[in-house]
Amino acid sequence: MEKNSIHGMWSSRLMFILAAAGSAVGLGNIWRFPYLASDNGGGAFVLVYLGCIAVVGLPILIAEVLIGRHGRMSPINTLRKLALEQGSSRGWVGIGWLGIAAGVLILSFYSVVGGWTLHYTWLYLKQLLGGAPLGDPASVFQSLLSNPLELTFWHAVFMLPTAAVVALGVETGLERAVRYLMPALLVLLLLLVAYGVTTGRMADAATFLFRPDFSRINGGVLLSAMGQAFFTLSLGMGTMMTYGAYLPRAGTSIPRVLTVVALTDTSIALLAGLAIFPIVIAFGLDPAGGGPGLIFNSLPLAFEAMPFGTAYGLLFFGLLAIAAWTSSISLLEPGTAYLTERSGLRRRKGSALLLAGVSWAVGLLSVLSLNVWSDVKVPANISVLGGKNIMDVVEFLANDLMLPLGGLLIALLAGWALSRTILREQLSEMPEWLFNTLRWTWRIVAPPLMLIVLVQAVS
Ligand code: TRP
């Protein structure tokens, strides 16, 4: 086993935790989780989601990181190395290719939404400095979405620093970004939850989020919850495999640090819910059925009416932008690492810029599908894709097909193809019974669940 990665290493275990949590905590936690909970029956969704994280998410997260730490390269080359070492099929390398493609696709729309958060941060900053109030939130959001130039501009403003940080590399780029941003994110979020308490509606929010209505649980809820568990833990495309490649060996128990990462990620999603729903409820809005516009349509309404609302709005959208940014970095890193390896390590900057550029260009499709091409839809008679616009199609391909497929293959690889010796070498601290449980989870628990999710997605 290689001792170090040629791309550099996290300088400590804590840095790995911050980087992995930085990847995990993103728009998925603060934008997507609240609206999915809102649309899927609150507590019913949250319960299924927690189950998915524990039963499938964490085991696959462990598999990705241990494979990465064994191979110490980009996913493609790590998998190539493993196949050679074990004499197993070269086909596993496909997981790496699938991952890079998924990364470029996800980053393409992730950065568009990241751009929305920057736009709102800017609006509140302007207002705080004496500008005019935002006005009616629904029309502010609509006018942003209907303006392709504005969207493209913020999409670029979001993508550029992402590319720059990845270009700088593991220690000088990624690590320096998460070291300051992650603590800042936590402080901001706690401030927002504290404000939620002062609205007097925290109990209602908690009831909405945590009281499961079992009659609401159905296949659709399971599908969204599993998809969300994958998305929020950054699984299925090699992000965590790449971050694992930079994880030092000595004294770091993979299951232990990843439990911390998964708990942090889950807590932050729940805290985001506890920051958002009290305000939504206190201002007489319906917590159910908010859709993707939930935070953009409803929160500004509250910010307008409440004391220090402008400052609060600035904090909230700033927080969201930071969270999105530490995740977008992780979407770009696996592909960049691969291209850098191909160039004999001479071209990290060029690789990061190239991939970010491609992803930005693909993102223009999402931008246009929100306005100029909003009528361009897949014909209704084409089964699963029918009625979707371009942004929905890209999101569907990446989130609903590629990530679960990647996850399924990773579970099969870890469970059936990797030798016990390699697994044990990476998981030496684990008690035997737990190790066996984990291995059987990869073998027979996760694959059928992932398969159900995949089949459901296409039927
Ligand atoms: N986990 C991030 C979020 O919740 C998004 C993300 C970053 C991601 N890297 C990923 C999703 C890799 C899937 C795969 O916002």
Angular region, 14: left φ>0, alpha ψ -120 to 50, beta rest = alpha
Specify the pLDDT at position 118: 97
Residue 239 in contact with ligand 1 by CB distance below 6 A: yes
Tokens coding 225 = 């919850």
Specify the pLDDT at position 124: 96
Residue 237 in contact with ligand 1 by CB distance below 6 A: yes
Specify the pLDDT at position 385: 84
Residue 297 in contact with ligand 1 by CB distance below 6 A: no
Residue 127 phi/psi, 5° resolution?
A: -65, -40
- CA of 453 from ligand 1 middle (Å) equals 18
Q: Which of 112, 234, 264, 320 to mutate to test the pocket of ligand 1 (most atoms within 8 A of CB)?
A: 234
Compute, in degrees rounded to 10, the torsion defined by CA atoms 99, 104, 105, 110: 120
Residue nearest to atom 10 of ligand 1 (CA): 234
Specify the pLDDT at position 422: 95
**CA–CA separation, 58 and 153 (whole Å):** 37
Instruction: Return the closest-CA partner of residue 260 out of 65, 7, 104.
Output: 65
**CA–CA separation, 8 and 1 (whole Å):** 16
Q: How far apart are the first and last CA of the chain?
A: 43
Q: Give residues with Cβ within 8 angstroms of 281, minimum separation 6.
A: 199, 201, 204, 205, 208, 287
Percent of the chain as helix, strand, coil, to the nearest 5: 80, 0, 20
Q: Which residues of the chain have pLDDT under 70?
A: 1-2
Specify the pLDDT at position 1: 58
Residue 340 in contact with ligand 1 by CB distance below 6 A: no
Angular region, 289: left φ>0, alpha ψ -120 to 50, beta rest = left
Q: Which of 232, 258, 355 to mutate to test the pocket of ligand 1 (most atoms within 8 A of CB)?
A: 232
Burial class of residue 208, CB neighbours in 10 A (0-12, 13-18, 19+): buried
Residue 441 in contact with ligand 1 by CB distance below 6 A: no
Burial class of residue 106, CB neighbours in 10 A (0-12, 13-18, 19+): buried
Work out whether the CA dihedral 399, 402, 405, 406 comes out positive or negative.
Answer: negative
Tokens coding 422 = 């390699």
Instruction: Return the closest-CA partner of residue 28 out of 234, 280, 221, 175.
Output: 234
Q: What is the pTM of this model?
A: 0.95
Tokens 């439990």, residue?
259
CB 35 within 8 A of CB 43: no
**CA–CA separation, 73 and 312 (whole Å):** 42
Q: Residue 421: what residue type?
A: T
Q: For 74-86, what is each residue's pLDDT tens digit?
A: 999 999 999 999 9
